[in-house]
Amino acid sequence: MRWRSGRRSSNIEDRRDRVSTGVPSSSRRRRPVGRRTATGGGLGLVVIVLLALVFGIDPSTLMSVGLPVPESAPSAQSFPGATNDPFSTHLGQQREDELADFVAVVLADTEDTWQALFSEAGARYREPNLVLFTGSVRSACGLAGSATGPFYCPADEKVYIDLGFYDELQSRYQAPGDFAQAYVIAHEVGHHVQNLLGISDQVSRAQQQAGKVAANRLSVMLELQADCFAGVWANRAQQARQILEQGDIDEGLNAAAQIGDDRMQRRAGGFVVPDSFTHGSAEQRQRWFRTGLSTGDIERCNTFEAASL
């Protein structure tokens, strides 16, 4: 993946125990978390309704502004693949600095891509912050350890990652490569896009009224859509900035497969129980990531109305 010449995002919060030089101190910006607002901004009424119809959500969700963070913060959307214990891998200084730099570049690239996509729809994209942490971190969604894996918290609109996860991704889950690493960030940013469009809130409300199996299926739809959004990012970034190298697509597809629920359950030594899936099977995750990657079309990512997941 061609990333070294890319710009670095300023939306990085470095909360690691050992602050490295991988992200310049001037980039460690903290944005105040006050009231959370739903999207709407510069959207015209027609565009809002069109977006709502595309994703099957209530247009009023997109049109409301100034909504406070609920007393019970929304659950974080985590990336599967972490161990049951905190990461045992201790990154060397050089490796950690390079990964921090890499993450800042990938985040910047997602910003450029989604800014352009929202602009095409007459909307303004609100950039998320990305928090680097070691061991554990407190978010608006609660306290999380590194074993949670990378996650997105809709209550504070931030992506969280312990960089040690990337060594786990390579060694334990056989998903090496910088594009595999980029896919992880793009997936979590996909959850941010869902949050901005009001999809996450709709799913959360539906899950509260559903049984366990139905709630799990809604979670799978949400996760597969985030995979598709990650593919849309890769497609648009390739068109605009030629970021992909030979083998990158295979790396991304392999990563999507390795963290499929069925493979995770087999790896844990248990039975495969589809009704317990929360992220989707290896085949589903690959297929939806490929859908976004091949089309670059956000409208093709509507997992909630798909005839088959």
Q: For residue range 226-258, what is the model confidence (pLDDT) as tens digits?
A: 999 999 999 999 999 999 999 999 999 999 999
pLDDT at 112 over 70: yes
Residue with tokens 């593919």: 231
Indicate the domain borders of the chain. Answer: 12-27+40-305
pLDDT at 74 over 80: no
For residue 24, what is the enclosing H or E element? none
pLDDT at 25 over 50: no
CA distance 19 to 37: 31
Task: Report the percentage of the chain scoring pLDDT > 70.
Answer: 77
pLDDT (mean) for 24-35? 39
Residue with tokens 């990305």: 130
Task: Report the percentage of the chain scoring pLDDT > 90.
Answer: 70
Confidence class for position 71, pLDDT limits 50, 70, 90: very low
User: In angstroms, what is the C-alpha Rg of the chain?
Assistant: 18
Q: What are the C-alpha distances in Å from 148 to residues 43, 209, 241? A: 35, 26, 32
Confidence class for position 49, pLDDT limits 50, 70, 90: very low
Contact call for residues 190 and 161 (beta carbons, < 8 A):
no
pLDDT at 23 over 90: no
Count Cβ atoms below 10 Å from residue 101 Cβ, excluding itself. Answer: 19
pLDDT at 39 over 80: no
Question: Which of 3-12, 64-73, 129-138, 144-153 is predicted with the least confidence, judged by mean pLDDT?
Answer: 64-73
CA 31, 165, 280: angle at the middle one, nearest 5? 95
175-210 pLDDT tens trace: 999 999 999 999 999 999 999 999 999 999 999 999
pLDDT (mean) for 121-147? 95
CA distance 49 to 52: 5
pLDDT at 29 over 50: no
Residue with tokens 């295979």: 250
